[in-house]
Amino acid sequence: MLRVDGTWFKARRRRRTLIWLGVGLVLLLGIVLGLLVPHAATKIEIWSGASAAPSSCPYSGGGPPFALQSFEAQMSRQTYLETLRLAAGDRLFPHDPDFRLPTLTVGEPRRADASATIPAQLLYAIAWIESKIAMAPFDVDWGTLGPPLLSPDCGYGIMQITSTIHNDGGLPSRYEALAGSHFAYNIAAGARILAEKWNEDYFPVVGESDPSFIESWYFALWAYNGWAWINHPGNPTYDPGRQPYDCDADRSDYWDYPYQERVLGCVINPPMVGGQRLWEPHSVALPDVARLTAPGGALDPDVFWQTFDQIRERMSLELPAQAYSADLGIGHSNADRTTLLGMPLLDGLPDELELRSSEFSNRGAALTIGNSGSGLLAWRVTSTPSWLDVGVQAGVALGSGYGFTSGPDQSVIPILAAADGVPEGSHRGRIVLEFVYPDGRSETESIAISLDKRGAAYYEAGRPQS
């Protein structure tokens, strides 16, 4: 099956944890540069399928994107929705320090509450706004392997993970490899980022910070995309009398809403796929923008620009009287985590690979990674000889267990000699790979690599060649 989701939209993702020391200087500079002019702060990027990979990642380290491989689940998104439900209740990787949820702080004053969870509807809606709940680009068939969805600022996958992936041109770390290639880790990373924004002391709060009310997440959602003027509801770009965003309507009005209102609009009006809504609607009481953005109101633009050390005090909102709690039980799905993530098993590796290089040719090789178990086997390259180029740095090998796929699918790593600075002769080294399993285990394997480099064409004695 081919992906037929239509046009994709994506805003620039700036998900950095903002420790606002000196932020006043940055914002004032923004004013000088004209950020208050409508649309001046935003470049509109319309996704209509796979695009050429960016050569740099301006908001996530500046280096090139990683060469990753991912798996795209079924068009119905049911596998992804189950994963999002587990992530909302911290049931994906609760013992993994990189991907577990931090304990949410709740109440006034804020206190840690280990029982607090994220309403799953929020994660559904974020995933739809970010990627239409898809891990791979438009031209990757459902149920197959392919590159991850990659934005122009190097946001990866379903949740468009950006700021926690710092591309420096080297090999990806464990976190970067998993978040960029495996849908479950990508979703867990997005949930963790949202929870960190919720816990941040700088941002305003709604009511008494009760996470069971979706309205309470207004400012955390804003910060997930970027605590920026373009997401301020009082930005003159947006009509103050606008109706709630309809996630399933014609998207010609996508840019008429700040990010958090798009997400909340998807909670109110979920999208349709195959004639069915992806999740049950939940009523959300949105802020009264016209009143709150008036002079002296909590969302008065002057408050945003001038009270950098009083943002929480000045911008916090009362919980609307008509708000009601979300069904948090949805985050405690009875989904079988083992069935969802599988029990992958590495299906052997070669002992050695041989490469040849000369001024006339460069003969590469392919390293194949098989998964004789179920689910996805996550792997990454951790080291290589300096004279080796790997075409894929991290990825997943597909095993059995997903009934909507055509069956197991191996990862294939193209390997080529990058021997320009290497002297002629024979060279040996090792490529090292790490394999990560859903239960937290990992194992390391290495393969010997030999390179035969010749500086000129080879002529066998007595066998002249033209």
Residue 461 lies in a domain: no
d(CA 443, CA 159): 27
10-residue block means of pLDDT along the chain (466 residues)?
A: 39 34 36 30 30 60 83 95 95 95 94 95 97 95 95 91 77 95 98 97 95 97 95 94 86 90 96 93 94 95 90 95 79 70 95 86 90 97 94 96 91 91 91 96 96 67 46
d(CA 66, CA 172): 7
Does one domain contain both 91 and 232?
A: yes
- Side chain identity at 191, as an amino acid letter? A
Does one domain contain both 311 and 413?
A: no
Does one domain contain both 314 and 203?
A: yes
Residue 245 lies in a domain: yes
pLDDT for position 27: 36
Does one domain contain both 365 and 384?
A: yes
End-to-end CA, the chain: 50
Does one domain contain both 275 and 350?
A: no
pLDDT for position 35: 34
Does one domain contain both 136 and 18?
A: yes
Q: What SS3 state is found at 189?
A: helix
pTM above 0.85, yes or no: yes
Number of domains in the chain: 2
Residue 58 lies in a domain: no
**Structure tokens belonging to residue 269:** 């009006």
Residue 354 sits in which domain range? Answer: 342-454
Residue 459 lies in a domain: no
What count of other Cβ atoms lies within 10 Å of the Cβ of residue 68?
23
434, 377 Cβ separation under 8 angstroms: no
Residue 300 lies in a domain: yes
pLDDT for position 168: 73
Residue 60 lies in a domain: no
Beta strand pairing call for 411-417 and 388-390: antiparallel
C-alpha dist (Å) from residue 53 to 50, 65, 147: 9, 7, 10
Residue 379 lies in a domain: yes
Residue 337 lies in a domain: no
* Angle (deg, nearest 10), helices 218-225 and 183-199: 120
Domain boundary among 280, 308, 332: 332
Does one domain contain both 348 and 326?
A: no
d(CA 331, CA 101): 13
Q: Alpha carbon 89 to chain centroid distance?
A: 19
The residues, ordered by sequence, that sit 6+ positions from 29 with a Cβ below 8 Å of its Cβ are none
Does one domain contain both 121 and 246?
A: yes
Domain boundary among 332, 364, 392: 332
Domain boundary among 284, 300, 332: 332
Output the domain CATH number for residue 400.
Answer: 2.60.40.10
Beta strand pairing call for 362-363 and 365-369: unpaired
Does one domain contain both 187 and 120?
A: yes
80, 87 Cβ separation under 8 angstroms: no
Does one domain contain both 156 and 265?
A: yes
What count of other Cβ atoms lies within 10 Å of the Cβ of residue 19?
10
Does one domain contain both 236 and 266?
A: yes
The residues, ordered by sequence, that sit 6+ positions from 359 with a Cβ below 8 Å of its Cβ are 454, 455, 456, 457
C-alpha dist (Å) from residue 374 to 25, 338, 413, 463: 52, 10, 20, 53
Does one domain contain both 261 and 324?
A: yes
Q: List 412's β-bridge partners, or say none.
A: 368
